[in-house]
Amino acid sequence: MENIEMTSNNTSKKFFDVTSYPPYAYALFYFINIISFALIYNIFFSNDFKSGYLNFIQATYFSVVTVTTLGFGDITPKLDSSSLLIAITTQVVLGVITIGLFLNGISQKLSDKKDKIKEEHEKEIEEQKIAKLLIILKPIIVSYLEILAETYKVTFNTERDTLRIRPKSLFNQDYFDQISVQNFSSQQTKYGSNIMSWGKFIDLENNKLKESIDNYLIKFSTVLTIDIVELLVNIKDHHYLNHAKQALNMAEWNHTHGVKIPPFSMLSIEHSSIQIPEKPTTIKDFHNLLLTLIDLIEKKTKCESLEMIIYLQNGTAPSVGSAIAPIIKFGPF
């Protein structure tokens, strides 16, 4: 009910605001002015002119001459007809006001059009600026997609041909379930065997991503839109990037205290049988943020769709399936 009343009040205010009408409304009112006063002169004042009786055509001609203030003088009113003089004065005043409002309306229309063109131009420049900044960001994301491709490789079961796939097609529930059982204790990485653990490798790469985004934000955060800055901060600070470090800390704790805890990642809890309130969706949430950023880069820069190349052969380290941890069951067995 309140909304209806507010709409009604706004409509009333707009109706009585004679400066807010479009130019064609003033032109229509000007035309009505001419016809209305032509009828008035013909019906009420046809005998009050020095030239004698005024028919409708002559009255219309006189109305046009009067409202436009041309005043040719070929048809003149008798000065002793006060009512006629008032009618003429009224028509002239209304005509001058209408012409003024019409010209103001045209001027406003042109000004609005000019402002719109300027706004669109500024928006286009802003879009181009954002596109250039996202092009700078693109290599950082592409580099991290290579790490995710490697993660897919070390948690895949069997060798197969090289896989070329878009992130949007790869990041599904099967993918989340697969990478949730990473064995961070595995000693195979792209640097070879027994050089560093898989957990150390992933932690280094995660820190590299954080540092790259940090440096990018330091340089460009004042120019980027708020939504892009928020998206990058959410990716950089996401819990998913801390799981490798947690696994390394757990392994260190095992070594220090001489306790043997099975080498599983806390990520596996998300895909276990355990039922807990507000069960985390860390993996899915992180990858959804990444997909949002990838979609933004592709749309804004109009570049080719980003693809992940996953080498599922053992020709290069690490080996396919080298970092699959034992599946730890939670809850009833």
DSSP for 217-262 reads HHHHTTTS-HHHHHHHHHHHT-GGGGHHHHHHHHHHHHHHHT----
- Final residue of a domain: which of 118, 150, 183? 118
Could you tell me if 13 and 82 lie in one domain? yes
The verdict on residue 217 lying in a domain is: yes
The verdict on residue 317 lying in a domain is: no
Could you tell me if 144 and 72 lie in one domain? no
The verdict on residue 108 lying in a domain is: yes
Could you tell me if 242 and 149 lie in one domain? yes
The verdict on residue 175 lying in a domain is: yes
Give me the pLDDT at residue 332, please.
46
Q: What secondary structure letter does DSSP report for 45?
A: S
Give me the pLDDT at residue 145, please.
97
Could you tell me if 167 and 75 lie in one domain? no
Give me the pLDDT at residue 209, please.
97
Could you tell me if 217 and 138 lie in one domain? yes
What is the C-alpha to C-alpha distance for residues 110 and 108, in angstroms, rounded to an integer?
Answer: 5
Domain range for 211 is 124-310
Could you tell me if 165 and 293 lie in one domain? yes
pTM for the whole thing?
0.68
What is the C-alpha to C-alpha distance for residues 331 and 103, in angstroms, rounded to an integer?
Answer: 79
The verdict on residue 17 lying in a domain is: yes
Give me the pLDDT at residue 200, please.
94
Strands (E), the chain: 163-165, 188-189, 192-193, 308-310
Could you tell me if 52 and 159 lie in one domain? no
> Tokens for 136?
């700078």
Local confidence pLDDT in tens for the 333 residues of the chain: 445 454 555 555 454 577 778 888 888 999 999 999 999 999 999 999 988 899 999 999 999 999 998 888 899 998 888 899 999 999 999 999 998 888 888 888 888 889 998 888 888 999 999 999 999 999 999 999 999 999 999 999 999 999 999 999 999 988 988 888 888 889 999 999 999 999 999 999 999 999 999 999 999 999 999 999 999 999 999 999 988 887 777 766 655 655 565 554 556 666 655 566 666 778 889 999 999 999 999 999 988 899 999 999 998 899 999 998 776 555 443
The verdict on residue 52 lying in a domain is: yes
Give me the pLDDT at residue 226, please.
95
- Cα–Cα nearest to 153, from 325, 321, 6, 3: 321
CATH number (domain holding residue 31): 1.10.287.70
Could you tell me if 267 and 129 lie in one domain? yes
What is the C-alpha to C-alpha distance for residues 190 and 143, in angstroms, rounded to an integer?
Answer: 14
Could you tell me if 21 and 85 lie in one domain? yes
Helix (H, G, I), strand (E, B) or coil at 134: helix
The verdict on residue 178 lying in a domain is: yes
Could you tell me if 128 and 270 lie in one domain? yes
Number of domain units in the chain: 2
The verdict on residue 330 lying in a domain is: no
Residues 6+ apart with CB under 8 A from 209: 140, 143, 144, 147, 236, 241
- Final residue of a domain: which of 85, 118, 151? 118
- Final residue of a domain: which of 93, 118, 143? 118
Could you tell me if 51 and 200 lie in one domain? no
Give me the pLDDT at residue 155, please.
93
How many H-runs (helices) and E-runs (strands) does the chain carry? 10, 4
> Tokens for 11?
């409509």
Could you tell me if 200 and 170 lie in one domain? yes
b/e sequence 219-228, b meaning 16+ C-beta within 10 Å? ebeeebeeeb
Give me the pLDDT at residue 273, please.
56
Using alpha carbons only, what angle is made at residue 101 by residues 99 and 104, rounded to the nearest 5 degrees? 110
